[in-house]
Structure 1
Amino acid sequence: MRSKYAKYENINKEQLQVDIEKIKESIGTVTQEDFNHLLKLERWGRSSTFSGYFIIFIISLLEITSYALGSFSFWTLALLAATLLGVGNVSRWANVAHPILHGAYDRVPNVPKRYTKAGFAKKGSRRYLDWLDWINPEAWIYEHNIMHHYHLGEDTDPDNVENNLQWLIRSKTPMWARYLFVYAFAGTWKLTYYAPNTLKILENKKRRKLKMPQATSYDWSPFKRNGAILWKEYILPYFCVRFVLIPFLFIPLGLEAVFNAFIITLIAEYIANLHSFLVIVPNHSAEDIYRFDTPHKSQGEFYLRQIMGSVNYTTGTNIIDFSHGWLNYQIEHHLFPNLPLSQYQKIQPLMKELCAKHNLEYRQENVFKRMKMSVELMVGKTKLLKVESI
């Protein structure tokens, strides 16, 4: 299938740059309508979260009354609550924090500072009110916005899945155990991967300025400097609020209510990890995705790499896009990272036409199919396509 498309070295990168920048110019300025769209998505996510906690309240209320829930009814409601909490969790990251921290709404006239890159989830109360997660916002901005977006598919891309799992791919671990590891990892990856990795990348930025050796891993020990930062600024704030403070708000309904809230919150965390893993990891990891040995040499080549190194999922309606965290427009996002989410639906047809003009493959497939392909890469059954800079 790939043979019918133009080869990397044969693409007219200068003309590609011209055509993409014409699309960029046609987008226009960010408007209040774009910002209202973000606010709608924010309400959807918040509503999902509050609905989850409301169901926990109902479960706990029924448990202390004469009406006793049966085991099946209890777990049906508990799983519904956990799913709603998980969806709200992913939405807060993907549909709200992600575009805001790219500066997508900075140019909206009179936009509140808390919806700008400079004000969203900053230290203090805004960290807790805007986006409290295992990930420190400052570290994620540098890891994602800079290192990932501007080094896509290179060895210096911190989210290069093939590189990150070389220890597993090259090991003598049985294939069944590799699959088991990947599935287990998917349920914890925000804590076990994103929290320490974003901190490591931020630390290495500081080390480069001081001309110090780069850190290759991060220390989890709370008794060492870096480990203490990880626990104090990343793990403990989220853990204490999500798994201690919020469950204890149910104490008026009894200790059983607190325990129910804690267990359902744990399940919700697992669901949020699986959901985010599903919509994030396959964007740049499969046997038909390219990796690059050297940095890009021109803006046109940079644009080309964003197309050849990314894949979209099913797109269309706000509901479909919300469920994917708007990460189903990954090609458009990597070309225009600071674009409001509402604009991606509008420019997608233009990007498809552009790819057809340049005989470039515009990859777009079901997210579950892409996840299967990503898992095959992660366990070492397949490899990324390799291209050297021309």
Structure 2
Amino acid sequence: MARGDGAVVPSVDLTHVNLDAFARDVDALHADLMADLGPRDIAHLKRMRRWSHACSLLGYGTAWIAPNPLSMFLISIGSVSAWITMHHVSHRGYDKVPGMPKQLTSRVYAQGWRRYIDWFDWMLPEAWAHEHNHLHHPHTGQEADPDLVERNAFFLREARIPKPFKWVALLLGMMTWRFAYYVPNTIRELHRARRRRAGNPDGASPEETFRQLYDVKNPEGRAQWQALLDPRTPEGA
């Protein structure tokens, strides 16, 4: 099977798999895991949140002293662990845990003003949740996956520039990918889904979305940035 970037993905023969037996095994595993849910899961989630907040507070609280690797490490751990927690909660991994506080379930976590204490990242939580849960996971590694690295990096591979410049571009991308890639891409996919449901499909290309988001003269671009920074707005609520 060929992809849009010209790469060939080998097919896998699954005809020898007993699908009925596989389904029974999956159902049995699901039942065992559901029966094991309880107070330990609540305690674990709360403990991870405490560690995440502690790392962030200590990192930012010591960063003013002088540039130092310890503060950088703590800020990084706090940021990444908050994202990991958001990932699991957003996937509704804790929604059915008996006794789980409502604010730690997918419908409330990081929504509205809770962004400030749950996951105050560059990304709009509902935009990332839509892009990641409904587009990336159902189509991982396929053409419909918006995070298909091979396709998204195609322009860099084909660029007629010296390889050292490509390494510089890659390094800049590594340092800014949440801001430079995930922000416009997740907002674009959320808006496309909303317009499609409203009967007004969005034909904007990724390039047009990037230009719109970073153009301060564009009213819709300004509204999107306001939503990213202010949960009180309709988009951020």
Establish whether residue 226 from structure 1 lines up as the match of residue 225 from structure 2: no
- Structure with higher RCO (Cα < 8 A, 6+ apart): 1
1:213 and 1:104 mapped to 2: Cα distance?
31
CA-to-aligned-CA distance 1:308-337 (integer Å, 9 cap, x gap): xxxxxxxxxxxxxxxxxxxxxxxxxxxxxx
Q: Distance in 1 between matches of 2:145 and 2:219?
A: 25
One-letter amino acid matched to 1:80: L
Report the equivalent of 1:40.
Answer: 47
Residue 100 of structure 2 corresponds to residue 111 of structure 1: yes
Structure 1 equivalent of residue 234 of structure 2: none
Q: Partners of 1:53 and 1:207 in 2: how far apart?
A: 39
Where do residues 169-184 of structure 1 align in structure 2 (5 Å cutoff)?
169-184=157-172
1:169 to partner: Cα distance: 2.2
Q: Distance in 1 between matches of 2:22 and 2:162?
A: 44
Distance 1:37-1:84 versus aligned 2 partners, 3 A rule: same
* Structure 2 CA distance for partners of 1:83 and 1:154, relative to 1, 3 Å: same
Q: How does 1:182-193 map to 2 (within 5 A)?
A: 182-193=170-181
Figure out how many residues of one structure are paired with residues of the other and give that number: 213
Q: Look up the match of 1:215.
A: 204
Query: Structure 2 regions of 5+ residues with no counterpart?
Result: 1-10, 232-237
What is the distance in 2 between the residues matched to 1:133 and 1:10? 41
- Picking from 197, 203, 209, the partner of 2:185 is 197
Sequence identity of aligned pairs in percent? 31
5 Å-filtered alignment, 1:19-38, equals 19-29=25-35, 30-38=37-45
Whole-angstrom CA distance in 1 between matches of 2:117 and 2:99: 21
Contact 2:94 2:100 in 1 (8 A): yes
Q: TM-score, normalised by structure 1?
A: 0.51
1:79 aligns with 2:83: no
Alpha-carbon distance in 1 for matches of 2:57, 2:101: 23
Alignment partner, residue 3 of structure 2: none
Q: Deviations over 1:162-181 (max 9, x none)?
A: 11122222222332222221
Larger CA Rg, structure 1 vs 2: 1
Question: Is the Cα contact below 8 Å between 2:39 and 2:99 reproduced in 1?
Answer: no
* 1:232 counterpart letter in structure 2: Q
Alpha-carbon distance change, 99 to 196 in structure 1, aligned in 2, over 3 angstroms = same
- Tell me, what secondary structure is at the counterpart of 2:13? helix
The separation in 2 between residues aligned to 1:89 and 1:221, in whole angstroms, is 27
The amino acid of 1:115's aligned partner reads L
Contact kept? 1:208, 1:214, Cα under 8 Å: no
Q: Any stretches of 5+ residues in structure 1 without a counterpart?
A: 1-6, 60-73, 239-390
TM-score relative to the length of structure 2: 0.81
Distance between the aligned counterparts of 1:164 and 1:13, measured in 2? 36
RMSD: 2.2
